[in-house]
Amino acid sequence: AEARLQRTQRMESLGQLAGGVAHDFNNLLAVILNYAEFIVEDGADTPFALDAEQILRAGRRGSELTHQLLAFARREVIRPKPLDVNRVVSEVHQMLTRSLGEHIALDLDLADRLPSVVADPGQLEQVLVNLAVNARDAMPSGGVLTIDTGLVHDHVRIRVSDTGSGMPREVMDKAFEPFFTTKPSGEGTGLGLATVYGIVVQAGGTVKLYSEPGLGTTITIMLPASDAEPHTGEPARPPRPAARG
């Protein structure tokens, strides 16, 4: 528990640091982008036009990245409520199917009846989206993504498994660290699993990672079951776009 607490605090201060840096960096980028736009517009017939376009393109990608960082670092207002996990999974089902593409099958295996868990619906959706994006990236030539739910003692279990590349030991050890990524620059932010971890721990749960190189990866989330009736009010607000990865 001590180690977990330290880890959470480390994530939090890293998040704040990242937020501060991303903010200042974004302001600098805005200036660079502005001047590059001038050159592209007014210098269209100069030898520098193409170079300026390259600056614009790279700058815009940098700007997207800093926005993802800011979203990660921002302390959003969290509204935990009793939720039916199966319902949340069903609600993101369509979006996930679409973003997985044709060559990846999505299998849902939902427990018949589940007690509720107390969490923010938007955040729980974000968790599922982040895990699905990672699974997709790990299965470039297709495979199966399975999401199953169940009750284990007094915890609701959500398990997300893929038949993708899996992770070697060195990657598993670092996978939850903010900014750790093995993806090409511009594609991975290294914030996907750190975000999942932060959300689940904040909701009183745990995350476990099991991965077998060449066979696939399973992420198991345990959330404490609650006696409260699940909230069936307004639909969850849509999650912010997943940081790729």
Q: Number of C-alpha atoms within 13 angstroms, CB side, residue 27?
A: 5
Q: Does 182 bind ligand ADP (CB under 6 A)?
A: yes
Q: Which is nearer to ligand ADP, 117 or 196 (CB)?
A: 196
Considering only CA atoms, give the Rg of the chain.
20
Q: State both tokens at 66.
A: 């800093």
Kindly tell me which residue out of 115, 164, 198, 205 binds ligand ADP, with binding defined by CB under 6 A. Answer: 164
Q: State both tokens at 116.
A: 């509720």
Residues 118-157 that bind ligand ADP (CB under 6 A): 134-135, 138
Rounded distance between C-alpha atoms, residue 242 and residue 132, angstroms: 10
User: Which has the closest alpha carbon to 187: 65, 97, 93?
Assistant: 65
Number of residues that bind ligand ADP (CB under 6 A): 23
Q: Which is nearer to ligand ADP, 115 or 188 (CB)?
A: 188
- List all residues 6 or more positions away from 183 whose beta carbon is below 8 Å from its beta carbon: 137, 244, 245
Q: Does 239 bind ligand ADP (CB under 6 A)?
A: no
Q: Does 96 bind ligand ADP (CB under 6 A)?
A: no
* Least distance (Å) between residue 231 CB and ligand ADP: 28
* Least distance (Å) between residue 69 CB and ligand ADP: 12
* Least distance (Å) between residue 207 CB and ligand ADP: 12
* Least distance (Å) between residue 103 CB and ligand ADP: 16
Q: Which is nearer to ligand ADP, 72 or 226 (CB)?
A: 72
SS3 of residue 144 by DSSP: strand
The piece of 32-40, 77-85, 119-127, 174-182 that touches ligand ADP (CB under 6 A) is 174-182
Q: Which is nearer to ligand ADP, 116 or 163 (CB)?
A: 163
**The one-letter amino acid at 28:** L
Instruction: Decide if 115 contacts 86 (C-beta within 8 A).
Output: no
Chain mean position to CA 81:
21
Q: Does 171 bind ligand ADP (CB under 6 A)?
A: yes
SS3 of residue 21 by DSSP: helix
Q: Does 220 bind ligand ADP (CB under 6 A)?
A: no
Burial class (CB in 10 A: 0-12, 13-18, 19+), 148: middle
Q: Which residues bind ligand ADP (CB under 6 A)?
A: 134-135, 138, 162, 164-167, 171, 175, 180-183, 188-194, 217, 245
